[in-house]
Every structure is written in C-alpha cells, then in structure tokens.
Structure 1
Amino acid sequence: MRDILILIIIGGSLPFILFMPWIGVLMWYWIGIMNPHRLGWTFITDMPVAMMVGVVTLAALVITRDRKPLPFTREIVVLLIFTGYITVTTYFAWSHMAWVQWDTVMKILLMTFVTPMLIYGRTRTLLLILVVAGSIAFYGFKGGLFSILTGGAHMVLGPQRSFIAGNTDLGLAMIMVLPMLLIIARMFRENWVDLGILSRSPKIAGYAAYSVFWLTAAAIIFTYSRGALLGLLAIAPFMFLKMRRKGSLILAAVLAVTVIGVTLPERLVSRWQTIQTYEEDHSAMQRVQAWGVNWNMAVERPLLGAGFNNVYIPNSVWMSYANFEGPWHPNTARVAHSLYFQVIGHHGFGGFAVFMTMILFTLLTLNRIRRQSRHIPGKEWMGQFAWAMQVGLFGYLVAGAFLDRAYFDLMFAMVAITIILRRELDTVEAPAPQQVGTENPGHESSSPAPRDFVRTPENVQASHAATTDRPMSRQAP
C-alpha cells in the first residue's frame, strides 16, 4: 500500500509538472533529499522516480515561458567552472568507476542550474525552502520522538540506500536544516507571509514547527554520531543567540538536570568520550589513514587528483599512498570520511580550491542578503533564511570534516536558494504601499516584519506605511 501511495503521488505530479515545471523542481528535491521511495517495501524502492521527474521537468523547461534567464552570479560562474573541472579529472581518473559517480554529481549540478530558472518570487522560494527543510525534518521528527519514547536505546538512521542512510549522514543533514526549522517555526507563529492554507492557523502551525525543531535537535544527539555532535556544538551558540526567552531556556535546562534528574544514556556518553581517545579507536584511525592516502594522491597529482571513486583502485596501489598500516584487518580503510580530503583526493588541490571558493562565495552572498534585506520592507524574511543557511553551512563544514559528503544534494540546494535570494534582492524596486491581497508573482505586497529586526531611523516611516495594520501575534516561547 505504501508503494502504491508513493507511486500515485509521484506519477500524479507528472502532468502538473509538464504545465507548471516549477513543481518539478519541488518534487525533485523532495525525492532527492527525503528519498520517500526508499521507505517503500517492494517495487517502488528501485524505480528511477527521480529520473522520471527530472526528465519531465527538463522537457517542460524547454517549452514553457514561465521561466527566467539563468542569473550569472559569481556562484553560477564557479559552479560552471567546477562542472568542467570534475569532468576533466574524471577523464584522467584512475578508477573505471569514476564515470558512475560523475553521472550522479552531474545530475545534481544540472538541477542546481535549473532551479533558479524556474523558482522565483516569494511564494515559490518559500515553498522550495519548506520542501528542502521539511524533507529532512520528517526524519528529525520521527527520530526524535522515537528516541524519547525509547530512552535513546536505538540509533537514529535514515532510509537505506540513500545519501542519508547512515547515522552520521542523517546527523549532518539535520544539522544543516536545524536553523532553517527555527526560522520556519517563527515564520508560521508570527505569520510573516501569506502562504494560503499554511497560514490559516498561525499558532497551531507555529507550535507544530517548534516541536519539529526540538525533536530534530534530539534526533541529532541520538544518531550517536561524533561528527554530528561536533556540528551541533558548533551551531548551538548561534541558534541560542537567535532564540528569545533565553533565561527560560536556561532555567528549564537546569531544572531538568537538577530536579527531574534527566541524564544522557551511558551509551551516548561512552560514544562521545572516544573523541578524546581517538588514537585507541580503530574506526577513527582508519579515517586518519584514509586522509593520508587522499592527501598523498593530491601531492602527486595536485591539479587532477585520482578522480571520482578512487576507493576502487587496487589495494596495493591504495596502500602505497598510506602513511601507516593499522592493526585492523583487512587494512583497507577506503572511505575518506571527510569532505575536504574527499575533494582533495578526487580532484587535487585545484579542484578543492574551486569547491571551497563556491562555498565561500555562497556564505558571503548570504551575509549580504542578511544585512541588506532588513532595510527593505516586506523582504526581511529573506535575511532570516539567509542567516539560517549561513549557520547550516557552517555546521556542514564542521561536521563534514568527518564525513565524505562533498557532493551532498542538500548543500547544492542551499547554493541554489542563495542564488535565488540574491536575484530577488537585486531586482527589488522602490517599495510602494499596496492593499492587502493585491500581490501577484511578479509584484508582492508587504507583510509583517519579523520581530527581531532592528529598525533604523531612516526606514521606520517607510516600513510602517508598507506593513498592514493587523496586530502582531504574541511572541512564541
């Protein structure tokens, strides 16, 4: 029954995608990030559903007029350079399996280019953000609730045969979307923008979103992933500063520990303690060995590296680049377990420089959006989500140091959203007062501003004239 339901949803969306290709973008990210077909039991698990949606979306892109030109931002330029670079390194790769991974990465990059062409305007952009964050939040809600009910007795995992199958993979994904979930909860609770049926009951939607946020935070902890723990510790201070009623949160935490006696499971504490004794942990030392192998490959071929899927090279060749042999057997710790060493080993230091430049440009653009959007009435929500993706990408860079997810489609989705937000910000004209309910996809009316924005004296009067006179809802806890 589950397989049939998923097939009906995906198959039923294809006619709509043909006439409204922007729906295909949402469906593609839902399938690629959440992997709903992997939750089935029989035939649906092996069906090429992402390819089906992708092909129809590309066909619709060709015939539709409902699209915008590809914005040639610096992120797009670097993405194009990266696309060409990995194609060259694949041609000179050591493994015959290199073209298999190249094909997967190229599909992700292709949709990254297509997304800004079909997604524009406030409504479509927010729907894309909701789909991207919600695809991972599903596992955060389910995993967090399950962990609380079982006392953390089991490890939170993702769907099998997917990018987020492992505990560390899922933990990384949840870290990346956790700040976005906080902003989504605030958006619903305070009803910043009108999203139709999603905005009908802002209090209910807001409290539900806050519940998902906290359960996802719990799910990250109970992935039992050391990399996820470090990523969570890295982004926690930024989210704490963003939260309101900090005193109440601190008091609740103190009462939970001192009065109720809440403690972490012994298994969880033991797992985290191995961070301090990594030299005695074979799993950790295998990663160190793999880091050395990828580094030495890049030293020998600084511009090309070994190419995609270098883990498939003969064992004798692999070990010839190792700095040491461990006591484990067999002595073949192939997976890089670090996005940095993964890119270095695959594409050399040249490819690594292009990859990191892409992320750096994305972070700088998000910072610009965050600073400038607060001065444009009705566009402040862009700055909030720019902050969320900044923090999420920072968590990705920290936790990704221990996980080989350099080609994670969730990361490229954030790059695409950044490009969209930048274009929307750059094309904003001087705001004019409009009556509520007159907006259209090209000209959107203003909406209540998030409460934590700092108004400057110069724009207070303009902001007041552009906002509605509807009273703001009470602050959420």
Structure 2
Amino acid sequence: MRDLLLFGIIVGLIPFILRRPWLGVVAWFWIGLMVPQAHTWGFMRTFPLAMLIGGVTLAALVVNRDRRNLPMTREMVMMFVLAAYMTMTTYFAVYRSGAWAQWESVMKILLMTFVTPMLIFGPRRIVWVILVTVVSLGFYGFKGGLFTISTGGSYMVLGPPRSFISGNTYIGLAMVMVLPLILVTARFFNERWFDLGWPLKQSWYKGIGLGFYAMFWLTGLAIIATYSRGAWLGLLAVAPFVFLRMRRKWAIVAAAVLALGVVGIAAPDRMVERWQTIGGYEEDTSAMQRIQSWGANWNMAVERPLTGMGFRNVEMGYAWWISYANFEGYWRHALSPHSIYFQMLGQHGFGGLFVFLTLIAFTWLTLGRIKRQAKKADQKWLSEYAWAIQIAFIGYLVSGAFLDVAYFNLVYAFIALAIIMRRELDETAAFSPAQYRPVSLPAGTQAIGAGARTQGVAAVGGMHVRRD
C-alpha cells in the first residue's frame, strides 16, 4: 500500500513540475533528505525517484521560461572549481571504476545545486524550499523524540533504513544541522512574517508554529538519543548560539533545574557511559579506529598532495589501506575516513580540501552579510534564516570532524540557499524606496514606472526615464 501511495504521489507531481519547474526542486529536496522510499517494502524501495524527479525538472527547465540566469557569485564559482577538481582527481584515482561511479553521484548533487538558484527566487519559493527541508528531517526528530520519551532514552534513535542517513551518527548530524532552522520556522509561523499562500491558511499559522516548537524540542531529545558522540559534540557547539537566540531563557533554565534537581530525571546509565568515553578515548576501540583512519588518510595526502587517491579509495582493500596507517591495532573494521576533513584529504589531496573549505568559508561570510544587511532592511525572515544556516554549518563542521559526510546533499542545499538569499537581498535593496530619490529631469524626458521595458530607456539618478 505504501508503494502504491508513493508511486501515485510521484506520478501526480510530474505534470505540476512540467508546468512549474521550481516544484521539481522542492520535490528533489524532499526525496533526497527524507528518503520516502525507505519506508516502503516493495517495488518503490529501489525505484530511482531522485533520478526521475531530477530528469523531469531539467526537462521543465529547458522548455519553461520561469527561470533566472545562473548567479555567478563566489560560491558558485567555487562549486565549479570543486566539480572540476573532483573530475581531475577521479581521472587519477587509484580505484578508477569505482571512483567514476561515485563521481557520477556527487555530480548529480552539484548539478541540482546549480539548477536550484535558477528556479528558486522570491520569498515564497525560498521559504517553501526551507520548509520542505525542515519537515523532511524534522520528521525524524519529531518521531525520534517521541520514541525517546516513550522508552526513557534506553534505545538508540536511527534514521530510515537502507539510506544515507540510516546510521545513528548520520541522522544525528542531519538533525543537528536542521535544529536551528526548526526554531526559526516556528517563529516564522508564530509571528506570521508573511503569507506563504495556498495551501496554508493564515488562520492555521499559530497552530503550525506550535507544532514546530514541539518538533524543535523533540529533535533535541532525539539527537541525544542517537548515542552518537559526534552528534553530541555538534549539539554542544550549536546549543549556546540557539540558547542566546531563544526567548524566556530563564524559564528554560528553571525547567531544566526542576527536571534534574527536583524531579530527579537522569540520563540512562548506557548514555552516561557513552559520554565518558569521549574523555577516555584511548580505551575506546571506536575512537582509536578513527585516529588510525585519520593517520592513514593524512599519509595518503602526503604521498599525493594534489590528487589524493580519488573516490572510493577504501575499496582498494584492507592490506592497501593499513599500509598507510601509523599503527594497526587489534581490530579489523569497515574502512572509512571518519571525517569530512580527512575524507577530502585522502580522496582529493590538500588541494581538494582547500577548495572545499574555501567554498564553506565563502558561504559562511555571505550568510553573515545577509544576516546583518537584511536586519537593517527590515527583512526579518532573511536575517533569521541566514543566522540559522550559519549555525547549521557550525554543527556540520564540528560533527563532521568525526563523520565522512563531505558529499552530504544538505550541505550543498544550504550553499544554494545562501546564493539565492544573497540575490534576494541585493534585489530587495535595489528596489527599496530609498533608491528612488527625486531628480531633476532634463528637458524632453518623461518619467515612467520603475522596471518598465521599452526602447530608449535610460537611468537617471536612480529613476528610469525615456528619451522622446
């Protein structure tokens, strides 16, 4: 039944996407982040949903005029550089066939990242993309939080089976990244920043906002119940920024003191033991495996500093891998770089890591600029969401130090949103009332409305005028 329902939804979306291509971006984000096919049991489990929706979206982009030019910002340029650099390292990869297969998957993510700014513009479309992103991952936070409460936190929260975020560490990272966006989305509806249009009625906004507040707190619980030390460190990194942004801080502190000191709510023993292993990492096998892996990838980058070993270097086998390690240990384990930084080093060398971090740094700086200038321009929704994505990157960079998630599609979705939001801010500033100052028109000219398209139009002092 689930298979037929999902199939019907996908088939039903196709004509809408062909008519309005931007809906294809929204659908692609939903499929890529929520992975709805993971909840089916039949033919839809292996159905290429992302490929289908992506193909339909690209076809609609070609035949439909509802699009914008590709904004060549510094982030966009760096993504082209990253794509080119990964292509070069794949050509020199040690495991050529597997590397090209992984290259194809990463290029699909980058392709949709390039397409997104062409189809997503205007406040409503931007917020709808963010809303779908928040709901797609917040669903697991909401569900996981309820599961944590019902079981007393005794069991581990996991992601959807047979998906990229199925493991506790990966779903934990995803929830850490989306947590600040859930908070801002709750405020968006609670304060009714603007109308999103059909199918949401403004009379529903208050209730929807309360639902997102519930999702925020339940997602926080779910992150803790993943038992992922990487996710815990990411949560610790974003928590101070989120706390400072919250209202009624003292009420939250008082509730925490009441729960811990008076009622006596305590973490399960298993969770406490897991936390204590962070300090005593030398005695923890999992931690030592990571250190071994980091050393191996560092040595690979030293041997091939410009090209690295290419995608899927782990498939060269244990004997090859361990030859680059500083020590072997007594374990045999699944090979993994266990870090976005060492993943980029081992697969793409120091050059690849530099390009990757430069892309993130540019995005971070752009979000900071949007946050400051949007606040001055009274564009609260832009300022708040820019702040939320900035904090999400903090969580990613901290948790990502322990996870191989350099190609996580949520990261590139946030980069695309930063590019789109920057353009939105610039266009809002360009057409703000302050730009239209009174001017003295030369003889023989006639003022016309801003934005009119006619021959012989010239701009004089911020106004558009026509020469007779």
When normalised by structure 1's length, the TM-score is 0.89
Partner SS state of residue 279, structure 2 = coil
1:98, 1:368 → 2: CA distance? 37
Residues in 1 aligned to 2:151 and 2:36: alpha-carbon distance in whole angstroms: 24
Offset of residue 72 of structure 1: 0.1
**15-24 vs 106-115, greater mean Cα deviation:** 15-24
Q: Equivalents in 2 of 1:316, 1:229: separation in Å?
A: 33
Q: Please say if residues 289 and 333 of structure 1, whose CA atoms lie closer than 8 Å, have aligned partners that are also in contact.
A: no
Tell me which residue corresponds to 1:9. 9
Give the CA deviation at 1:200: 2.4
Residue in structure 1 matched with residue 187 of structure 2 by the alignment: 186
1:367 paired residue number: 368
Q: Aligned-pair RMSD on alpha carbons?
A: 1.4
2:162 is aligned to 161
Structure number with larger C-alpha Rg: 2
Q: 1:211 aligns with which of 201, 211, 214?
A: 214
Q: Which of 289, 304, 309 is residue 306 of structure 1 equivalent to?
A: 309
Aligned equivalent of 1:340: 341
Q: Secondary structure at the match of 1:213?
A: helix
Query: Structure 2: how far apart are the matches of 1:169 and 1:4?
Result: 28
Match of 2:49 in 1: 49
- Comparing 348-357 with 94-103, greater Cα deviation is found at 94-103
> Displacement of 1:265 after TM fit?
0.8
Q: Please say if 1:410 is aligned against 2:405.
A: no
Rounded Cα–Cα distance in structure 1 between residues aligned with 2:410 and 2:135 = 12
Kept in 2, the 8 Å contact 1:198–1:205? The answer is no
Cα displacement string for residues 286-344 of structure 1 (whole angstroms, at most 9, x for unaligned residues)? 1111111110000010000000001001332212111001012x3x5510110100001
In structure 2, distance between residues paired with 1:186 and 1:131: 16
SS at match of 2:423: helix
1:406-436 C-alpha deviation (Å, 9 max, x unpaired): 0000000000000000011111234359xxx
How far the C-alpha of 1:19 sits from its partner, in A, is: 1.2
1:210-258 Cα shifts (integer Å, max 9, x gaps): 0000000000000000000000000000000000111101111111112
Q: Which moved more, 1:188-197 or 1:117-126?
A: 188-197
Bigger mean CA offset, 188-197 vs 312-321: 312-321
Deviation at 1:99, TM superposition (A): 1.0
Cα deviation for residue 261 of structure 1 reads: 1.1
1:285 aligns with 2:309: no
Match for 2:91: what amino acid? Y
Distance 2:389 2:252 in 1: 23
2:300 to 294, 297, 300: 297
Query: Which residue number in structure 2 is paired with residue 449 of structure 1?
Result: none
* CA distance in structure 2 between the aligned counterparts of 1:55 and 1:29, rounded to whole angstroms: 14
**Deviations 1:29-65 (CA, angstroms, capped at 9, x unpaired):** 1000110011111111100011010100000111110
- Distance in 2, matches of 1:275 and 1:426, equals 45
Contact 1:174/1:216 (<8 A) preserved = yes
Match of 2:76 in 1: 76
Alpha-carbon distance in 1 for matches of 2:151, 2:202: 34
Separation in structure 2 between the aligned mates of residue 199 and residue 58 of structure 1, nearest angstrom: 33
Structure 1 contact 92–304 (Cα < 8 Å) conserved: yes
Structure 1 stretch displaced more, 139-148 or 192-201: 192-201
Give the AA of the match of 1:392: A
Q: Which residue of the partner structure matches residue 452 of structure 1?
A: none
2:125 is matched with 124
Per-residue CA deviations over 1:52-108 (Å, capped at 9, x if unaligned) read 101000001111100000000000000000000000100110013111111110000
Name the structure 2 match of 1:325. Answer: 328
Q: Which amino acid aligns with 1:210?
A: Y
Q: Secondary structure at the match of 1:79?
A: helix
Q: Distance in 2 between matches of 1:227 and 1:242?
A: 23
Structure 2 letter corresponding to 1:325: E
Report which stretch shifted further, 108-117 or 187-196. Answer: 187-196
Q: Which moved more, 1:198-207 or 1:6-15?
A: 198-207
Distance 1:32 1:53 in 2: 10
Tell me the amino acid that sits aligned with residue 402 of structure 1. F
Query: Amino acid of the residue matched to residue 350 of structure 1?
Result: G
| Equivalent pair of 2:37/2:44 in contact (CA under 8 Å) | yes
Question: Residues of 1 paired with 2:26 and 2:205: CA distance?
Answer: 23
Identify the residue that residue 464 of structure 1 maps to in structure 2.
none
Q: Summarize deviations over 1:91-132 as a string: whole Å, max 9, x none.
A: 110013111111110000000000000000000000000011
Secondary structure of the corresponding residue to residue 129 of structure 1: helix
Aligned to 2:21: 21
**1:251 equivalent in structure 2:** 254
Separation in structure 1 between the aligned mates of residue 184 and residue 201 of structure 2, nearest angstrom: 15
Cα distance in 2, alignment partners of residues 4 and 159 from structure 1: 19
| Counterparts of 1:198 and 1:353, CA distance in 2 | 46
Larger displacement relative to structure 2 (382-391 or 153-162): 153-162
Q: Which moved more, 1:420-429 or 1:217-226?
A: 420-429
- The answer for the alignment partner of 2:229 in structure 1 is 226
CA-CA distance at 1:354 after TM superposition = 0.2
2:92 is the counterpart of 1:89? no
Which structure 1 segments of 5+ residues have no match?
434-441, 444-477
Measured in 2, the distance between the counterparts of 1:198 and 1:36 equals 26
Residues in 1 aligned to 2:265 and 2:39: alpha-carbon distance in whole angstroms: 33
Residue 161 of structure 1 and its aligned partner are, at CA, apart by 2.1
**How far, CA to CA, are the matches of 2:334 and 2:59 in structure 1?**
43
User: 2-side partners of 1:198 and 1:216: how far apart?
Assistant: 26
- Equivalent residues, number: 432
- Pairs within 5 Å for 1:126-145: 126-145=127-146
Could you say which residue in structure 2 is the equivalent of 1:469?
none
* Change in CA separation of 1:262 and 1:126 when aligned onto 2, cut-off 3 Å: same
Contact 1:286–1:333, Cα closer than 8 Å, also in 2: no
Aligned 8 A contact 1:294 1:345 in 2: yes
Whole-Å separation in 1 of the counterparts to 2:226 and 2:295:
27
2:318/2:335 contact within 8 Å kept = no
